[in-house]
Amino acid sequence: MMINPIKKIIVAAVLVAGLAAASPAQAQAQTQKTTWTLQECLDYGLQNNLLLKQSGLNRELAFINAKQARNNILPTVNGGTSYSINFGLNNDPTTGVLVNQNTRANSFSVNSNVPIFNGFQLRNTIKQNQLNYEASLSDLEKTKNDVILNIISQYLEIILSDELLQAAKLQLESSKVQAERTQKLFQAGSVAESNVFEINSQIATDEVSIINAQNRRDIAAVNLMQLLDLQDLKDFKVVKPDIKDPDEDVINFDATNVYDIAQQRMPEIKSADIRAQSALAGIRVSQGALMPQLSLGGNFSTNYFNLNKIRVVDAGQEQTFEQVIGLVNRDVNQKVYTIMTQKVPVTEKYTYLTQLQDNRGGGVFLNLQIPIFNGLSARNGVLRSKINYKNAVLNSEITRNQLRQTIQQSYADAVAAQKRFIAMKRQLAAFQLTFRNAEIRFNNGVMNTTDYNVARNNFTRAELDVIQAKYEYTFRLKVLDFYQNKPITF
C-alpha cells in the first residue's frame, strides 16, 4: 500500500473545490462501508473533513478580498432618490423661497468619484491582499497535511488497540483454562482454595483489560470517523496492513537532513514567510495615509416640487405698446413717442417630467486632501504596521523552530521506540521462557498461584510493551517519511 502525500497536497484545492461534486449515491455507498483501507480513509477524509472545508472557505474569502482590492481602483458611481412630505414652513427646493404650505418633493442624484493619487495605498493594498491570498493557499495545504497525519495516527491507533484487545482476550482464555485446572486440583486436594480465589481474581483483571482495550479501540474509531465526518456508522473496521518490526529497519538519515528537506516544502513555512511579506506591504499602506489624497469627482441632480404647477415660457405673440422715452427739444409741449414690442410669456401646466428636466444640474470637481494633524493616528498606524511586520518575522522563525522541534522529537521518539522494541523483544523472549516454566510448575502443583500470576503478568506486560513500541516506531517513522516527501508505505 502506497500513499503519495505530496501528490495529495498539489490537488488539495481541487479536492476542496469539488466537495459538492460527489453524487448522493456515491456518498451513501461510502458511508455504508464498514471496512476501510488507509487509502480509502485518506481519500474520503480529504473530501469531507470539516476543518478542511472551513479552510477552503477561508481561501475563498481571501480570494474575494484580493479581487476587491484590485477593483478599488475603479471609479465609484452611486445614485439616490428621496421623496418627502413636509408640513408648515419649509423651503421650495427649486427656488429656495420659504413657503408655509403642505408640500411634497422628489429628488434624484448621481455622483461619481475616481481616485487619482492616494499615497500608493491602493497599489500596496492590492499587493498585500494578493499575498494574503497566497498565504491562504498554503494554510489550506497545512490543514490538509494535518488531516492526513491525524488520519494515519488514528488508523494506527485502531490497529494497535485491536492487537492489545486480541492479546487481552488470549490472556483471558488462558486464565479461564488455568481456573478450570486449578479447580480440579483443588477438588483433588492438591492445592489450597486460595489458589482458586487468586486465579478467579486474575480472570476479573483480564476482563478489565479487555474492557480498557475495547474502549481504547472505540475511542480511536470515533476519532477517525470524526476526521472523515462519518456519523452513526456501526461496526467500523480498518484493514490491517503488513507492518514490519522495527528491528528490520535501518534509519539511514538524521533529523537535520529531514528538516533541510521539510523547510523547503512545508506549507506552514511558506505561509509564515508570505505573511511577513504581507505585513511589509502593510507598512507601505499605512505610510500612504501621511501623503496628500487627490481624487476626481462629478455629480448630477434634479428635483420636483408639487407647488410648481405653472410653467412660464417666452413663446407668446409680439405685442405693440407706447412708451415715453424723453423730450427732444425745448418745447415742453412737444412730446416724442416711440413704438416698442416684446414677447408676452405664455403659461402651461408644469408636468412632473418637465420639471425634472428643467431642474437638472451637475458639476465636476477635484478634491485634494492634505493631512496636517489628525491626532497622530496616521503615524501611530505606521508604528503599528512596523510592529506587525516584526511580529510576522518572529512568527516565521517560530514556525521554523516548531517544525525543527517536531522533526527532532519524532526522530528521537522513532530511535527510542526502535531501541525499546529491540530490548523489549529480548525481554519478552526471557519472560516467555520464565512463564512457560512457571506454567509447567504450576500445573504440576509445585508453584503457588501468586508466583504463577507474577510470571504471567510479566510476560503479558512485556508483550504489550513490544506491541506499543512497534506502533510508536511505525507512526514516528511515517511522520519523518512525510516530511521528506517520501511515499507512505506499509
Q: Nearest to residue 248, comparing CAs of 489, 1, 474?
A: 474
The rounded distance, in Å, linking the Cα atoms of 418 and 473 is: 6
The rounded distance, in Å, linking the Cα atoms of 160 and 168 is: 12
pTM comes to: 0.77
Looking at the chain, the whole-number percentage of residues with pLDDT higher than 70 is 86
- Tell me the range of 159-163, 187-191, 451-455 where mean pLDDT is highest: 159-163
Q: Are strands 35-36 and 237-238 parallel, antiparallel or unpaired?
A: parallel
* pLDDT above 80 for 383: yes
pLDDT at 181: 81
More confident residue, 490 or 67: 67
Q: Which CATH architecture has domain 2-74+118-291+388-429+472-489?
A: Up-down Bundle (1.20)
Q: Nearest to residue 408, comparing CAs of 319, 342, 483?
A: 483
pLDDT per residue as tens digits for the range 134-145? 999 999 999 999
The arithmetic mean of pLDDT across residues 386-411, rounded, is: 95
Ramachandran region, residue 416 (left: φ > 0; alpha: ψ -120 to 50; beta: rest): alpha
Residues contacting 99, CB < 8 A, separation 6+: 89, 90, 91, 92, 307
pLDDT at 197: 87
* pLDDT above 90 for 322: no
pLDDT at 65: 95
The rounded distance, in Å, linking the Cα atoms of 191 and 184 is: 9
Q: Nearest to residue 296, comparing CAs of 121, 79, 118?
A: 118
Q: Cell numbers for 135, please give them.
A: 498565504
Helices marked H in 11-49 — which ranges?
A: 12-17, 24-31, 38-48
Query: DSSP state, 248?
Result: G
The arithmetic mean of pLDDT across residues 112-117, rounded, is: 93
pLDDT per residue as tens digits for the range 330-350? 444 555 555 555 555 556 778
Residues 334, 319 contacting (CB under 8 angstroms): no
* pLDDT above 50 for 305: yes
Confidence of residue 2 (pLDDT cuts 50, 70, 90): very low
Q: Cell numbers for 272, please give them.
A: 509564515
Confidence of residue 63 (pLDDT cuts 50, 70, 90): very high
pLDDT per residue as tens digits for the range 16-62? 334 334 444 444 445 567 789 988 999 999 999 999 999 999 999 99
pLDDT at 395: 96
pLDDT per residue as tens digits for the range 186-204? 887 777 788 888 888 889 9
Residues 362, 298 contacting (CB under 8 angstroms): yes
Q: Cell numbers for 314, please give them.
A: 417666452
Angle between helices 121-187 and 449-483 (to 10 degrees): 160
Confidence of residue 250 (pLDDT cuts 50, 70, 90): confident
Confidence of residue 13 (pLDDT cuts 50, 70, 90): very low
The rounded distance, in Å, linking the Cα atoms of 45 and 55 is: 14
> Rounded mean pLDDT of the chain?
83
Distance of CA 248 to the CA centre of its chain: 41
Q: In the chain, where are the structural domains located?
A: 2-74+118-291+388-429+472-489, 300-369
pLDDT at 333: 52
The rounded distance, in Å, linking the Cα atoms of 425 and 433 is: 13
Burial of 488 (0-12, 13-18, 19+ CB in 10 A): buried
Residues 198, 453 contacting (CB under 8 angstroms): yes
* pLDDT above 90 for 310: no
The arithmetic mean of pLDDT across residues 381-402, rounded, is: 96
Ramachandran region, residue 249 (left: φ > 0; alpha: ψ -120 to 50; beta: rest): beta
pLDDT at 147: 94
Quickly count: other Cβ atoms within 10 Å of residue 93's Cβ: 17
In this predicted structure, which of 152-166, 247-261, 294-308 has the lowest mean pLDDT?
A: 247-261
pLDDT at 460: 87
The rounded distance, in Å, linking the Cα atoms of 411 and 475 is: 11
pLDDT at 485: 86
The rounded distance, in Å, linking the Cα atoms of 225 and 237 is: 10
For 366, the enclosing helix (H) or strand (E) is strand 361-369
Cα R_g (the chain), whole angstroms? 44
CA distances to 75, 147, 366, 417 from 298, rounded to whole Å, are 11, 54, 9, 75
In one-letter notation, the amino acid at residue 329 is N
Quickly count: other Cβ atoms within 10 Å of residue 480's Cβ: 22
The rounded distance, in Å, linking the Cα atoms of 277 and 160 is: 44
CA distances to 16, 25, 32, 432 from 28, rounded to whole Å, are 19, 5, 6, 48
The arithmetic mean of pLDDT across residues 421-425, rounded, is: 90
* pLDDT above 80 for 409: yes
pLDDT at 312: 66
